[in-house]
Amino acid sequence: MVYATLAGAILAEVLGTTAMKYSDGFTRLWPSLGTTAGYLIAFFLLAQTLKTMSVGTAYAIWAGLGTAAVAAIGMVFIGEAVTATKIIGLLLVIAGVVVLNLGGAH
C-alpha cells in the first residue's frame, strides 16, 4: 500500500509540474490552480508515505521518478530536444532510484 501512496504522490507532482509549464509564470488561472493542487496532493501523499518508509528511500523514489517522468513528458509531448545525453541522464536517475530502493526498502 505504501508504494501505491508514493505512486500517487509522484503522479500528483508530475501533473503539478506539467501544469506549471502551461501556467505562463502563474499568469493563467487554471494551470496555476492545477499546479497548486498537484503539489498539495503530492506533499500530502508523500507525508503519508513517510509514516512507514524511510525518508531517504521515499524521497529518492519521489524525486527521481518524478524528474524522469517530467523530462520524458517534456521530450515526448512538449517538443523539448531529445539527445543522447538526456536519455543517458534519465537512465542514470532511474538506476540510482533502483539502487537506493534495493538498499533501503523493506
Model pLDDT for residues 38-63, shown as the tens digit of each residue: 999 999 999 999 999 999 889 989 99
10 Cβ neighbours under 8 A, 6+ residues apart: 42, 61, 62, 65, 66, 69
Nearest Cα neighbor of 43 from 57, 30, 59 is 59
Q: Find out whether 84 and 90 touch, Cβ atoms under 8 Å.
A: no
Cβ atoms within 10 Å of 21's Cβ, excluding its own: 15
Output the pTM of the full model: 0.90
pLDDT by position in tens, the chain (length 106) = 999 999 999 999 999 999 999 999 999 999 999 999 999 999 999 999 999 999 988 998 999 999 999 999 999 999 999 999 999 999 999 998 888 878 765 5
In the chain, where are the structural domains located?
A: 2-104
